[in-house]
Amino acid sequence: MASLDSVSIAILLGAVLVMAGILSSLLALRFGAPLLLVFLVIGMLAGDSGPGQLGFDDVRTTYLVGSVALALILFDGGLRTRFQSIRAVLAPSMVLATAGVLLTALITAPVAKYALDLNWAEALLVGAVVASTDAAAVFLLVHAQGLRLRPRVGATLEAESGTNDPFAVFLTLMLVELISAGHNSAWHVALEFGREAVLGAVVGVLGGRLVVLALNRVALPQGLHAPFVATAALVIFGAAQIAHASGFLAVYLAGIIIGNRPTRAHNSVVTFLDAATWLAQIVMFVLLGLLVSPHRLMSSVVPAVLVALVLMLVARPLAVFLCLAPFRFNWREKVFIAWTGLRGAVAIFLASIPMLVGLSKAYLYFDVAFVVVIISLLLQGWTLAAAARRLHVALPRSDRGPRRVELDLPGQLEQQLVGYSVRPKSLYFRRGLVPSWSKPTLVIRDQHILSPAEADPVLPGDYIYLLAPPEKAEALDRFFVDMQPSTAPDPHLLGDFVVSGEHTLGELAEIYGIATDAEHAGLTLADYFDVHLDHAPKEGATLELDSIVLVARSISGGRVNVVGLRLPEEEEKSAPLTGVASLKRKLSEMWSSVAGI
């Protein structure tokens, strides 16, 4: 009976832990990645050196759980990555994910050698274990602290943190093999790296395509799509590992393939994996905490702190500046990318590999990685938002995204139903705007379902549902959050062929003689950008308006407030000077009437 009771206690404790993990997601939105340290502490307290007195030294189980958790985390990262957003930064991201990891390990190694009294191979192993950034930690913190990174910076961090783990795993395994066997040729290392990378990419791309095909062709019962995709990700990972390919690279690429193709139940899959990866991190941190011995840790904590400081303040910044030197990043962006190289559970997971194969000093690698992760999450984690604001690489979100409801429509993949609560200060309510690629379908008011015509005008507190392509659903959010305060453009910014975004299409049509629908004549130029862009407007965005092109020259409050007018080349060349002067005068009069000057 005692053994049965122990099983029951284990079930109770496991269920309580899972429940705590679910509830902790609410706190994570406020405290971010340092909250994960709580679970490390829980593991330490439950271990044999804490009051829990639970003896746990099963490195094999920890490695198994860590592999599954890391595979799911990388797959989820790939699933959320839009290829369009990272295509422009693919080259610098790949350099950071490969050469950056290698440089970081090489710069950290001398400090590890002399501080920890290791030989060069062992010191390089320490560097390799802590060299890669943790994707889950980086983006959990970015979202938790309400930061909206500049597109190039955010895309670079996203692609780097998602792809540097496979290289760090490869580097760690090669060094473990070198220390175990005592020799390893450069040719062997290059051959192994090439084989793992190529085979991993092939398995990932083929596996991703097969999952897309199965999702869209096989009629799975409702609710099984998400577990099927999560299981398929682990099948891809396992198949790649058995083929001696990089399973982590394969599962990340499979996520990108699936996330960028139209599939059934896409949103339920993303939601399920979001919860699964969060719980996987919690379980991973608790098990890693159980392996930590505070008594053993005390003997190496001082040199480990030194390694952590050199890693964060010297190795990572130097590697980032060297790797990004050929690319067009300013020094502020480079400093922020360097400071955002957070270490998380991946480093501790890599440190469990020497323990698994029984290397001498294996626990030393683990203890150093543990200290590095704690210092990184505490020091870099809690200063991330301040660094972003000080370096002007991100703007704090004025409001979190609205609560969005997404419903898949059986029988087709092109549209889904997206629902929002109507706020009184939202762009939709204030201006009555929705993008051209969405279509209001129904309104819920006081428990009654109405058509848009029956509900007209829509009132604050109503719930409106729109048809929209799944990949553009998130772009609808900005129409249903409170509008940010907007400022009038500086008159000095308005030069030739540049006007305020508050002018209407009808006013422009009078000057240029362009064709515009009567129903759209009252739209302002800012409205026109909101309706026809499939993303939030950015400086430099262009839209055609009959024979001219509108260019967003300045953004304020999330909307275009200065618009450049690009005339047809033939018209500009052939237009007489007097006509141009007349046009300038009319534009000046238009601006003066709005600005009151």
CA distance 517 to 522: 10
pTM: 0.71
Asked if 450 and 523 count as a contact pair (C-beta separation under 8 A), the reply is no
What percent of the chain stands above pLDDT 70? 81
Residue type, 358: G
Q: What is the pLDDT of residue 581?
A: 47
Q: What is the pLDDT of residue 308?
A: 92
Q: What is the pLDDT of residue 570?
A: 46
CA distance 583 to 581: 5
Asked if 21 and 282 count as a contact pair (C-beta separation under 8 A), the reply is yes
Q: What is the pLDDT of residue 62?
A: 80
CA distance 362 to 226: 38
- In 3D, which of 590, 591, 595, 512 has the Cα closest to residue 550? 512
Q: What is the pLDDT of residue 140?
A: 65
SS3 labels along 256-283: HHHHCCCCCCHHHHHHHHHHHHHHHHHH
Run of H or E including 488: none
Query: Residues 338-341: contacts with CB within 8 Å, 24+ apart?
Result: 339/312, 339/380, 339/383, 339/384, 339/387, 340/133, 340/138, 340/157, 340/380, 340/384, 340/387, 341/133, 341/312, 341/316, 341/380
Q: What is the pLDDT of residue 315?
A: 93
pLDDT at 268 over 70: yes
Does the N-terminal peptide bond of residue 326 adopt cis geometry, omega within 30 degrees of 0? Answer: no
The region of weakest confidence among 163-177, 288-302, 443-457 is 288-302
What would the mean pLDDT of 301-321 be, rounded to a whole number?
A: 92
CA distance 515 to 494: 25
334 confidence band (pLDDT: 50, 70, 90): very high
Query: Residues 451-460: contacts with CB within 8 Å, 24+ apart?
Result: 458/422, 458/428, 458/429, 459/422, 460/422, 460/423, 460/424, 460/429
What would the mean pLDDT of 254-266 be, rounded to a whole number?
A: 85
Q: What is the pLDDT of residue 580?
A: 43
* Architecture of domain 405-479 in this structure: 2-Layer Sandwich (3.30)
Average pLDDT, the chain: 79
Q: Can you read off the two tokens belonging to residue 138?
A: 């980086």
Using alpha carbons, list the distances in angstroms from residue 495 to 169, 578, 584: 55, 17, 9
Q: What is the pLDDT of residue 204?
A: 92
pLDDT at 575 over 50: no
What would the mean pLDDT of 394-416 be, rounded to a whole number?
A: 69
Run of H or E including 15: helix 2-31
The region of weakest confidence among 29-38, 257-266, 329-338, 523-532 is 29-38
Q: Reply yes or no on domain 32-394 having CATH 1.20.1530.20.
A: yes
β-bridge pairing 542-545 and 448-450: unpaired
pLDDT at 579 over 80: no
594 vs 355: which has the higher pLDDT = 355
pLDDT at 28 over 70: no
318 confidence band (pLDDT: 50, 70, 90): very high
Q: How many CB atoms lie within 10 A of CB 593?
A: 12
Residue type, 502: E
Residue ranges of domains in the chain: 32-394, 405-479, 491-595
What angle (nearest 5°) sits at the alpha carbon of residue 28, between those of residues 24 and 36? Answer: 75
Backbone angles phi, psi at 499, to 5 degrees: -130, 170
Phi-psi region of 53 (alpha: psi -120 to 50; beta: other; left: phi over 0): left
Q: Reply yes or no on domain 491-595 having CATH 2.60.120.560.
A: no
CA distance 338 to 345: 19
pLDDT at 111 over 80: yes
What would the mean pLDDT of 238-246 be, rounded to a whole number?
A: 89
Question: For 75, what's the count of Cα atoms within 13 Å in the CB-facing half-sphere?
Answer: 36
**Runs of H (alpha helix) within 151-224:** 151-181, 186-217
For the chain, give the number of residues. 597
Secondary structure (DSSP) of 438-478? -EEEEEEETTEEE-HHHHPSP-TT-EEEEEE-GGGGGGGGG
CA distance 67 to 61: 10
401 confidence band (pLDDT: 50, 70, 90): low
Q: What is the pLDDT of residue 2?
A: 63
Q: What is the pLDDT of residue 238?
A: 92
Q: What is the pLDDT of residue 53?
A: 61
317 confidence band (pLDDT: 50, 70, 90): very high
Mind listing the pLDDT tens digit for each residue in 223-235?
Answer: 788 899 999 999 9
199 vs 472: which has the higher pLDDT = 199
